[in-house]
Amino acid sequence: MGFRVSTEPERTLLGTVFPHSLSERPWRRPVQLVVEAVLSTLAAAWIAVTLGVDEPGLVSLFLVAAALSARVGELLEENRRNIWERRIGGWAANRATAGGILALLAGVYAGYSAVACMLGEARVASLFAFALRAAALDGETIFERDFGTFPALVAHNAGVLLVIACLAFVYRAYGTMLALAWNACIWALVITTLAMRGAASAGTPAVAKVGLAIAALAPHLVLEGLAYITVSLAFLFASKGLTTYPGGDPRLRRVLAASAMLTVAALVALVLAAAAEVSLAPRALALL
């Protein structure tokens, strides 16, 4: 597997260091994407914090999106080839694309979790205040967190879904990566901060508590991530289709039909994620 040296203006230096092609092995491909996302996130956070800019947490998000949007674009190009050239079924091609983006999302989440563990609660509160404000984080621990009611969660997450759809439709790969990185950053920092507080009160190693908390919340996080990824793909495909094909082209109808089905799938995943957050997450945390 070679390394790429590219002069394309949309690529960052990190993009020239990572392997050019994704592995065809089912187990190696997601690992490769997770590692790329983790390293990109750590680099973005380090640069933003070291430079001493205002709101370094927010700046790091834009840097993460800039570093990973090219890889998202490659996943989308692979999707196009699979459907139109290799004649692979749409659901199979879209599953592969969604899985790749989910691996990137997991890597961003892991990267910001590591950043939170390295900085500690006080510095996280100072450097990433926007994330704690967005989550209305008070003085509770992970075990005291109120996850809200099912209708409230569905309504809130539907609003997030709409924002992600708009960003994907207008800004495509970059907008998709920025929206997903924002979501991953907030969840990672909030869960890690709450877990560290719980570890401090219980006299347990912080890393152990963070790992247990992530495992307990994993079903909800995966379902919510899939909902956001699926809706972003739906509106990104619609955006590309509307600007590529004329109104009466049957290919446009096919693209829009696929986008509609993906949107329905995203809504189903969103409802399931809210149900998991209300029912499974508190029970799993209670066992800890």
User: What does the pLDDT look like over 217-251, one tens digit per residue?
Assistant: 788 889 999 999 999 999 999 999 999 999 889 99
Q: Which residues contact 118 (CB under 8 A, 6 or more apart)?
A: none
Closest to 128 measured CA to CA, from 201, 167, 72, 181? 181
Beta carbons within 8 Å of 105's beta carbon, 6+ residues apart: 37, 180, 181, 183, 184, 225, 229
Element of type H or E holding 106: helix 90-119
The list of the chain residues with pLDDT below 70 reads 1-11, 136-146, 198-210, 285-288
Q: What is the pLDDT of residue 215?
A: 74
At 52, list the tokens.
């001493």
Is 108 part of a structural domain of the chain?
A: yes
Note the pLDDT of residue 209.
64
R_g over Cα of the chain: 19
pLDDT of residue 3: 43
- pTM attached to this predicted model: 0.86
Does 7 reside within a domain?
no
Q: What is the pLDDT of residue 287?
A: 63
Distance CA 202, CA 204 (A): 5
Provide the number of structural domains found in the chain.
1
Closest by Cα among 181, 109, 190, 95 to 147: 190
pLDDT at residue 7, as a whole number:
45
- Give me the half-sphere count of Cα atoms (radius 13 Å) on the Cβ side of residue 202: 17
Q: Is residue 6 part of a domain?
A: no
pLDDT tens string 150-163: 999 999 999 999 99
Residue 132's pLDDT is: 79
Evaluate whether residue 202 is within a structural domain: yes
Q: What is the pLDDT of residue 196?
A: 77
Instruction: Output the pLDDT for position 286.
Output: 67
Q: Does 3 reside within a domain?
A: no
Which domain does 54 fall in, by range?
13-287
Model pLDDT, residue 194: 78
pLDDT for 4 = 46
